[in-house]
Structure 1
């Protein structure tokens, strides 16, 4: 009998969603599970991708994945338990659903009871780490340590990068503007810069998005 799976992968930010950061790793873990721990023929009937925080349980793609798995009598397959939620109460509700079969790739032999225990332990650990961090910050403040120093340095570096990018855009604009007025596309302009060996501020080849960013910076000035 062929097994049916519905996969669900999630990242927490738009940046991760756009870059694929985390999604490929989750898909890799899912494939490792299917290749090494599934002894029957199988098919993945659907994949649901979500860009949303795990602390918020009102996630439309997860709801769709659960409904799809139930309708198709498929197993909901995730890479890691915290991709479902970081709240044990939410995970426990899914475990209690008799119409939903759940499999975690990184815990291939765990049953529902073991997953429930793991979720509870993970939540306790996160709560303890949070309290420990708050306590450490309070102690540092009492000792007179100036908090936020690293963030200030990061902000300074980011500001310097923005200034450098603005100056670079201004220099490039003198060459780019006539090309834009001729009606050349972003790709055409990028290709022309690459052909004559001009590189970006980071020493890379130009892409259409790079040209678009320069135009946006110069239009604001």
Structure 2
């Protein structure tokens, strides 16, 4: 029987107290267990942590790893960045022969693919940080006042785009295999609805929404 130890992480005390972010992780984990896991399976233990993705001090993760090693269970996380945002930290876990890592949003990914993804994600974050600093420096040189209403609107729009991209990435692990299988946009929408996956507004998927999600994933 396949065994799992589930690990969730949220970034701040506010998120931990309100449950923000946990619901999405629970959904992705549930979808993986229902759609991709060997049957039957057993969830040995579940752990939830409130910590920054760049903080390696993870008492709950340490407990989860200990239990996984003891029971020969796979450590199951919703997304790779829930484990850590540091490629070095992820690499150390991937190198541990007693730890089997499974990412719900990338159900078919092996250790090598997860390592590559973590490295690319870290590079992307570094580039975004450098690009943002450069843009602010250029704006300041042009005499643009930062922190005004226009900047607030820009930040709000950026946050909307970020959340939209994050939602797209949450369903990428479901959409991509269906695309690879040659399914049409309408058929993919039907599969998502059949699996109980909701759109950002909690509604049913349409072909047009699948198309926009795929385009957003390609841009990301």
Instruction: Confirm or deny a common fold (TM above 0.5).
Output: yes
- Deviation string, structure 1 residues 24-47 (Cα, Å, up to 9, x no partner): 110110000000001321011111
Q: Counterparts in 2 of 1:96-111, with a 5 A limit?
A: 96-111=95-110
Task: Give the CA deviation at 1:151.
Answer: 10
In the alignment, does 2:79 pair up with 1:65?
no
Task: Give the CA deviation at 1:76.
Answer: 0.3
Gapped runs of 5+ residues in structure 1? 155-221
> Hey, what's the Cα distance between the residues in 2 that align with 1:134 and 1:86?
20
Q: Where does residue 184 of structure 2 map in the other structure?
A: none
CA RMSD of aligned residues (A): 1.6
Q: Where does residue 84 of structure 2 map in the other structure?
A: 85
Q: Which has the larger radius of gyration?
A: 1
Q: Where does residue 3 of structure 2 map in the other structure?
A: 4
| SS of structure 1 residue aligned to 2:81 | helix
> Hey, what's the Cα distance between the residues in 2 that align with 1:130 and 1:24?
28
Q: 1:144 to 1:152 in 2, by over 3 A?
A: closer
Q: Where does residue 33 of structure 1 map in the other structure?
A: 32
> Hey, what's the Cα distance between the residues in 2 that align with 1:137 and 1:152?
11
Task: Give the CA deviation at 1:153.
Answer: 7.5
Q: Where does residue 115 of structure 1 map in the other structure?
A: 114
Tell me the TM-score normalised to structure 1 length: 0.67
> Hey, what's the Cα distance between the residues in 1 that align with 2:79 and 2:32?
11
> Hey, what's the Cα distance between the residues in 2 that align with 1:148 and 1:44?
48
| SS of structure 2 residue aligned to 1:148 | coil
Q: Counterparts in 2 of 1:129-144, with a 5 A limit?
A: 129-144=128-143
8 Å Cα contact 2:2/2:38 also seen in 1: no
Tell me the TM-score normalised to structure 2 length: 0.67
| SS of structure 2 residue aligned to 1:76 | strand
Gapped runs of 5+ residues in structure 2? 154-220
Q: Point out 4+ residue stretches in structure 1 off by more than 3 angstroms.
A: 150-154
> Hey, what's the Cα distance between the residues in 2 that align with 1:115 and 1:20?
27
Q: 1:150 to 1:91 in 2, by over 3 A?
A: farther
- Deviation string, structure 1 residues 60-100 (Cα, Å, up to 9, x no partner): 11111111111111110000000111010110000000000
Q: Where does residue 53 of structure 2 map in the other structure?
A: 54
> Hey, what's the Cα distance between the residues in 2 that align with 1:153 and 1:84?
31
> Hey, what's the Cα distance between the residues in 2 that align with 1:118 and 1:135?
26
Task: Give the CA deviation at 1:53.
Answer: 0.3
> Hey, what's the Cα distance between the residues in 2 that align with 1:67 and 1:147?
48
